[in-house]
Amino acid sequence: MAGTWWAACEGPAMSPDEQQRLAAWLRAHVAAFDGELRLSRLAGGQSNPTYRVEAGAHRWVLRRKPPGVLLASAHAVDREHRVMAALAGHGVPVPRMGGLCEDPAVIGSTFVVMEHVDGRVFVDPALPGLPPAERAALYAAMADALAAIHRVDVAAAGLSGHGKPQQYLSRQIARWTRQYRDSQTEDIAPMEALIDWLPAHLPAGLDEHPGTLVHGDFRLDNLIFHPTEPRVLAVIDWELSTLGHPWADLSYHLMAWRVTPDEFRGLKGHDLAALGLPDEAAHLARYLGGRPGPDAATMDWLMAFNMFRMAAILQGILARARQGNAAAADAEATGARARRMAEAGWRQVRG
């Protein structure tokens, strides 16, 4: 499925009072904002409510933290703003930032305003409806975009304080275990097994990597492609970005080849050659560009880790859905996949 991420609208916008305060803030802080505010809620995304903002001939996108009680360190739109503002001119396509508001008196929560990028967003990794040659070109562009993120000179971009790369994977296991516990709604035996197994089998040397910029959620539907060309115009949704091991980012992206569409937007079970899509090894080779990559055992551990991590993320979505502050209408169904992802992770361990 393809669409314009910025244009698919659903659900209510803000209250009239919130819109009035927002318009005043935008006039004071965002260049070119002039005229009557037009605001609509956008579909897509499970974390932060997103809106299309229009005034006169100009358009922007606004992302805000959701209302209600939130998990610690979640919904970090301020983090998104910081990293995307820093990346301008550093080889990674991102929207231009318009402003950041951390004053809850405006609309009740922190929000960021960015440029509206016209382009295509694909949700289904099989890219139905496209010719095989275009599918192949889009996947090549995606691999190149991920490699560009990991090549960023962190110091030159002013992102040296964006995270702590030391013991990155050990800290990630601990973090997502806490997040899972804080949002747990049922007992999932494979998740308990992964929580015990992952730290006990962490491959030697992975926690000693000096670190690069990592996106944290690099997948097809977090890219905006050119309307007609196989070219990435913007990488979006940076709230999980930090400094860490690039192979964690890489394996999360490659996870699509190891899970089914029913587990979570996967390619497993598709005839890749018929679709014109690369297999996992070919896509990995495109990303590496001749550089050394993880061996098979390390990649298997990384895959199990990322399935565990995704299960924890999905569990958080499910908890927000049941609390009534989810960002998307399909949050309950999406979050219910937590068990399936934990089961996939444990199957990865058992081989």
Distance of CA 82 to the CA centre of its chain: 16
Beta strands in 230-345 (DSSP E): 232-235, 242-244
- pLDDT value at residue 318: 85
Compute the average pLDDT of residues 204-228: 96
Average pLDDT, the chain: 90
pLDDT in tens, 115-124: 999 999 999 9
pLDDT in tens, 131-189: 999 999 999 999 999 999 999 999 999 999 999 999 999 999 999 999 999 999 889 99
Report the run of H or E that residue 121 belongs to, with start and end.
strand 121-122
Q: Which of 22, 58, 52 is nearest to 39 (CA)?
A: 52
Is residue 9 scored above 80 in pLDDT?
no
Give whichever of 12-21, 187-196, 256-265 has the largest mean pLDDT: 187-196
Task: Quote the tokens at residue 55.
Answer: 């005034």
pLDDT in tens, 21-77: 999 999 999 988 988 999 998 876 556 889 999 999 999 999 998 765 545 455 689
pLDDT in tens, 173-205: 999 999 999 999 889 999 999 999 999 999 999
Confidence of residue 6 (pLDDT cuts 50, 70, 90): very low
Place of tokens 């301020």: 78
pLDDT in tens, 283-300: 999 999 999 999 999 999
